[in-house]
Amino acid sequence: MAILAPFKGLTYNFQRFHDLSNLVAPPYDVISEKEQDLYYRTHPYNVIRLILAKKKTGDSDWDNRYTRAADTLKRWESEDALIRSDHPAMYLTSLEYDPGDGTKRVRWGLIAVVRIEDEGSRVILPHEQTFSAHKDDRLRLMRACNTQLSQIFGLYDDPDDLILDSLRKAVYDPPLASFEFKDKTKYEMWEVLDQAIFKKVARFMKDKAIFIADGHHRYETARNFRNLMRARYGKIPENRSHEFILMYLANMNDPGLTILPSHRLIRKCDGFKLSGFLDKLKKAFDIQEFPYTPSGRSQQIADFKKKLEDKGRATTAMGFYHRQSELFFLLSLRPGARDTMGDGLASSLKNLDVMVLSRLVLLKGLGFTKEDLDNEALFHYSSNMTEAVSEVTSGAYEMTFLLNPTKMDHVKEVAGHGLIMPRKSTYFYPKVLTGLVFNKIDPNEIIHTS
């Protein structure tokens, strides 16, 4: 069962900083070097200095980006730029945003700490592959700072929205924070101190599983950190603070929950021949052609996106565009083609568009290896179709494969069976901003659960 608890949150000093918009940032793994510089310039107390401090020439074991982040954290606390709550709390958040179609949606979330589970426990369920380099990086930061700086984005199943409805009824005061981020998303956050609500939330979640929507590397890092702390301090008492992880939890039935597609861009494919490639694909796909010219770009992309969505309701469908072509290609999986994906592949994975792309197109059609698919210098990802096509048109990439979003039902099915999707199979939008609240780790501090 999932064990949730309140915690003494470390936040920016809201009396000193009335607007968090210049202090927060997206998760570290979606921030480019250019954006890193931008956040550094935005404000001297921007959270970028903690989650993604800059490297310097001459970095050493005792002076590096991780130790500098830890020094910055201590200084901000000593200056009262960051203040820790005197009382354990949970935090209710609302997020208003445009999902990309000009409408407005609101996603509600709960920030609390959740007990870290051992691998295979079936309580906290991952769904995507992780990589050692990213986990090593985050572990060094956590060891230096003894603080969980970013929330894991988790999902739970609550068709009647009982948890968040209870939290909304428990807040009477104005929000602690209310601001509009640079992407026009609007955030509000309230502190909840009601012990009765904590018990109600804990009782409700005791029979629930939590699906990791975003933050797989950070979750595994927290478990690795917990194991290091257990080796040093022992496993008793079992409620030490390092046994828990900071999480942002949303209801997977929330109409404000959005999954965006994760289009694949390929920098280069040696020896690629368009006609030969399409001939290979005809064994598994029906192929339709649609014109694409720079003069009508915007409308043609919009029209193609609609065709891709329509076709995807009945079968796996994907788009393909190559920089040497003046056509979009719509690839629709033929009946029976899933059977050629391999006998050792679970049926729930065979139903994923990203897995069809990987097995039948990238591996069989283009001749990439499984190791190639994890090469970040070769593959890039974008949730915006116009951006993906433009990157190819500009010559930055050779080709792109355009996908429909992964369905929430598929995420639940795959995670529920203990299976793992290819990387970047889902893009839950918007990402949870870093800087709303942090969680200090003190091995002598006990988290009180209901």
At 125, is the pLDDT very low, low, confident or very high (cuts 50, 70, 90)? Answer: confident
Residue 437: the pLDDT is 98
CA nearest neighbour of 28 among 261, 217, 246: 217
Contact 422, 355 (CB under 8 A): yes
Q: Is 90 exceeded by the pLDDT of residue 130?
A: no
Rounded mean pLDDT, 229-255: 94
Q: Is 80 exceeded by the pLDDT of residue 343?
A: no
Quick one: tokens of 291? 């014109």
The per-residue pLDDT for range 403-423, each reduced to its tens digit, is 999 998 888 888 888 888 888
The per-residue pLDDT for range 137-155, each reduced to its tens digit, is 999 999 999 999 999 999 9
Distances (CA, A) of 198 to 91, 315, 399: 11, 44, 50
Residue 78: the pLDDT is 98
Angstrom distance (rounded) from CA 312 to CA 161: 29
Residues shown for the chain: 450
CA nearest neighbour of 320 among 351, 282, 349, 352: 282
Angstrom distance (rounded) from CA 430 to CA 256: 10
Residue 148: the pLDDT is 98
Single-letter amino acid code for the residue at 141: L
Contact 263, 402 (CB under 8 A): yes
Contact 250, 155 (CB under 8 A): yes
Q: Is 90 exceeded by the pLDDT of residue 377?
A: no
Quick one: tokens of 151? 């929330």
Contact 5, 202 (CB under 8 A): yes
pTM: 0.91
- Rounded to 5 degrees, φ, ψ at 144 are -75, -40
In angstroms, the first-to-last Cα distance of the chain is 13
Q: Is 80 exceeded by the pLDDT of residue 128?
A: no
The per-residue pLDDT for range 278-288, each reduced to its tens digit, is 999 999 999 99
Rounded mean pLDDT, 123-144: 86
Residue 132: the pLDDT is 74
Give the long-range contacts of residues 282-285, CB within 8 A, separation 24 or more: 283/337, 284/333, 284/334, 284/337, 284/340, 284/360, 285/331, 285/332, 285/333, 285/334, 285/337, 285/360
Q: Is 90 exceeded by the pLDDT of residue 187?
A: yes
CA nearest neighbour of 399 among 328, 336, 334, 348: 328
At 17, is the pLDDT very low, low, confident or very high (cuts 50, 70, 90)? Answer: very high
At 290, is the pLDDT very low, low, confident or very high (cuts 50, 70, 90)? Answer: very high
Residue 137: the pLDDT is 93
Name the average pLDDT for the chain: 93
Q: Is 90 exceeded by the pLDDT of residue 82?
A: yes
The per-residue pLDDT for range 359-370, each reduced to its tens digit, is 999 999 999 998
The per-residue pLDDT for range 161-175, each reduced to its tens digit, is 999 999 999 888 899
Q: Is 90 exceeded by the pLDDT of residue 79?
A: yes
Contact 244, 5 (CB under 8 A): yes
The per-residue pLDDT for range 196-220, each reduced to its tens digit, is 999 999 999 988 899 999 998 899 9
Top-ranked range on mean pLDDT: pick from 169-178, 313-322, 343-352? 313-322
Contact 373, 362 (CB under 8 A): yes
Angstrom distance (rounded) from CA 248 to CA 92: 9
Domains and CATH numbers, the chain: 4-258+430-440 (no CATH), 262-404 (3.30.1760)
Vertex 12 angle, CA 10 and 18, to 5°: 150
Rounded mean pLDDT, 14-20: 95
Rounded mean pLDDT, 319-336: 94
Q: Is 80 exceeded by the pLDDT of residue 22?
A: yes
At 122, is the pLDDT very low, low, confident or very high (cuts 50, 70, 90)? Answer: confident
CA nearest neighbour of 352 among 344, 341, 367: 341
* β-bridge mates for residue 124, sequence order: 210
